[in-house]
Amino acid sequence: MNENDIAFMRRAIELAQSGVDNDQGGPFGCVVVKDGRIVGEGYNQVTSTNDPTAHAEIVAIRDACRRLKSFQLTDCTVYTSCEPCPMCLGAIYWARPAAIYFAQPEFVVVHRADVDGYVMNRVVSALFDWYALSRKTK
Ligand SMILES: [Zn+2]
């Protein structure tokens, strides 16, 4: 992780804070970077827009795709303040960025070669967690 990575992660966290300060949604922020500059930004807007899909990553991916006029984020890096949920992992999978960085619950970097495997592992693991939880609450 270099100084630029830290600056981009700081921006993602700043967006998370700004979203909360402005009553937009939960404390999550995300930026998409290409060639050393931010091409997409987002923060959670679920409660302010009544949109359960308005997670920071989805908002940032949509912003970047709109600005880049592309449905794929090839050669882009996604910096997100928190480990992406299964929905956002799915969006990241389809957007095909070069790497994902997230800060919480621990700092993790996943590069392109490992993105697909990482996404599948996390989605399957989340499904098992939800299944186990649903069995416990019955
Ligand atoms: Zn999400």
Which residues are the active-site residues?
57
What is the distance in A from the centroid of ligand 1 to the CA of 59? 10
What is the distance in A from the centroid of ligand 1 to the CA of 52? 9
pTM of the model as a whole: 0.89
Encode pLDDT of 36-94 as tens digits: 999 999 999 999 999 999 999 999 999 999 999 999 999 999 999 999 999 999 999 99
Question: When comparing pLDDT for 66 and 127, which is higher?
Answer: 66
With contact defined as beta carbons under 8 Å apart, do 71 and 93 qualify? no
108 beta partners: 102
What is the distance in A from the centroid of ligand 1 to the CA of 54? 8
